[in-house]
């Protein structure tokens, strides 16, 4: 049975309103469905399709809670950032998404692993992780605005660290402001950090930004936000299937908007691992 998986605490209560809208359309179309909100099932045994109603963190929780997901997934925008839902459906409203996906086939999309944890959007080390440590402010102000405010503060505070990277048979060391392994293009509710990423290209896009003085960080923040930075001399990016990153000391990183803390990051791709209806 088609099942709605709701995170009631995401997006300032928005998921319940989105779920009510989806339930109304499904009822009108005489499509049977089940609803899981406060308590989710132990397995997906009785689910033929899962509609996840929340944000990027809710989706990340879902794909890590359930092993070997074989059923099609749909993602509705009801969180703080909604970056992966945007990657699937662009600027469509939730009502437009519901009415559209009912007529779409499911397609395989790539999935990443970071230290064994699954992700669909991206892993961001260092600067990204420090921004996410202020997640409460981000949620209070709203996805993109909150993220932008914390980024602005970290521009003045953050100090780059030495990293060692091993990817595509090469060893690379240096100080980086940003290390970002992306499956999708957008993060932080609208920052196009990896505009060249594709969900079905069997690759992650590894974006690296060298250490920058504060004035350059301020100068190029709007450029990075719009995804116009890949040709800048202090930016490098290339396609990888796996990358191992070691920091000089343990650092915070975000994995689909969820915070982790480690010194070593083993990141790899699982091509076509999940089916998404879009």
Range of the domain at 72: 2-104
For residue 64, the SS3 value is: helix
Q: Among the listed ranges 129-133, 158-162, 222-226, 270-274, which one has the minimum average pLDDT value? A: 129-133
| 69: CATH | 3.40.50.10330
* pLDDT tens, residue by residue, 158-214: 999 999 999 988 999 999 999 999 999 998 888 899 999 999 999 999 999 999 999
- The residue ranking higher by pLDDT, 171 or 147, is 171
pLDDT band at 150 (very low <50, low <70, confident <90, very high): confident
Q: Answer yes or no: is 247 within a domain.
A: yes
Instruction: Please indicate, yes or no, whether residues 133 and 256 belong to a single structural domain of this protein.
Output: yes
Instruction: Please indicate, yes or no, whether residues 136 and 189 belong to a single structural domain of this protein.
Output: yes
Instruction: Please indicate, yes or no, whether residues 90 and 209 belong to a single structural domain of this protein.
Output: no
Domain end call among 104, 135, 154: 104
Contact (CB, 8 A) for 243 and 166: yes
Q: Residue 9: what are its φ and ψ, rounded to 5°?
A: -90, -5
Whether residue 134 is predicted with pLDDT greater than 80 in this model: the reply is no
Instruction: Please indicate, yes or no, whether residues 142 and 249 belong to a single structural domain of this protein.
Output: yes
Q: How many CB atoms lie within 10 A of CB 55?
A: 30
Contact (CB, 8 A) for 250 and 234: no
Q: pLDDT value at position 143?
A: 57
Give dist(CA 262, CA 246) in Å, integer: 9
Strands (E), the chain: 2-6, 33-36, 49-54, 73-77, 106-114, 117-119, 122-126, 161-167, 170-182, 204-210, 235-240, 242-255, 258-277
Among 131, 178, 6, which residue's Cα sits nearest to residue 79?
A: 6
Instruction: Please indicate, yes or no, whether residues 59 and 182 belong to a single structural domain of this protein.
Output: no
Q: What percent of the chain has pLDDT over 90?
A: 79
Q: Which pair of structure tokens corresponds to residue 195?
A: 């505009």
Q: Residue 233: what are its φ and ψ, rounded to 5°?
A: -65, -25
Give dist(CA 274, CA 224) in Å, integer: 29
Instruction: Please indicate, yes or no, whether residues 254 and 190 belong to a single structural domain of this protein.
Output: yes
* pLDDT tens, residue by residue, 199-253: 999 999 999 999 999 999 999 988 998 999 999 999 999 999 999 999 999 999 9
Mean pLDDT (the chain, rounded): 93
Q: Answer yes or no: is 111 within a domain.
A: no
Instruction: Please indicate, yes or no, whether residues 132 and 263 belong to a single structural domain of this protein.
Output: yes
Domain end call among 104, 129, 161: 104
* pTM higher than 0.85: yes
Instruction: Please indicate, yes or no, whether residues 135 and 20 belong to a single structural domain of this protein.
Output: no
Give dist(CA 243, CA 183) in Å, integer: 13
The total of structural domains in the chain comes to: 2
Q: pLDDT value at position 265?
A: 98
Whether residue 42 is predicted with pLDDT greater than 90 in this model: the reply is yes
Q: Which pair of structure tokens corresponds to residue 63?
A: 């794909």
Instruction: Please indicate, yes or no, whether residues 90 and 127 belong to a single structural domain of this protein.
Output: no
Q: Among the listed ranges 10-19, 30-39, 99-108, which one has the minimum average pLDDT value? A: 10-19
């Amino acid at each position: 049975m088609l099942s709605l998986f709701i995170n009631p605490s995401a997006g300032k209560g928005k998921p319940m309103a989105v779920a009510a809208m989806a339930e109304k359309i499904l009822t009108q179309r005489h499509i049977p469905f089940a609803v899981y909100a406060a308590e989710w099932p132990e397995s997906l045994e009785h689910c033929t399709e899962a509609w996840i109603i929340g944000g990027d963190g809710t989706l990340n929780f879902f794909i890590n809670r359930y092993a070997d997901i074989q059923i099609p997934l749909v993602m509705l925008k009801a969180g703080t950032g909604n970056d992966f839902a945007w990657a699937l459906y662009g600027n469509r409203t939730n009502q437009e998404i519901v009415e559209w996906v009912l007529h779409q086939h499911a397609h395989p999309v790539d999935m990443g692993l970071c230290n064994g944890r699954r992700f669909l959007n991206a892993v961001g080390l260092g600067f990204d992780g420090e921004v996410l440590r202020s997640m409460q402010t981000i949620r209070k102000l709203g996805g993109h605005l909150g993220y932008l405010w914390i980024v602005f503060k970290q521009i003045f505070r953050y100090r780059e660290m030495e990293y060692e990277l091993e990817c595509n048979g090469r060893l690379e060391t240096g100080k980086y402001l940003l290390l970002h392994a992306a499956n999708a293009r957008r993060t932080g509710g609208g920052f196009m950090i990896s505009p060249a990423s594709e969900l079905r290209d069997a690759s992650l896009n590894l974006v690296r930004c060298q250490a920058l003085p504060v004035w350059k960080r301020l100068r190029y923040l709007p450029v990075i936000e719009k995804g116009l930075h890949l040709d800048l001399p202090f930016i490098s990016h290339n396609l990888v299937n796996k990358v191992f990153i070691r920091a000089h000391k343990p650092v915070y990183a975000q994995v689909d908007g969820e915070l982790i803390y480690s010194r070593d990051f083993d990141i790899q791709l699982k091509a076509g691992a999940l089916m998404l209806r879009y």
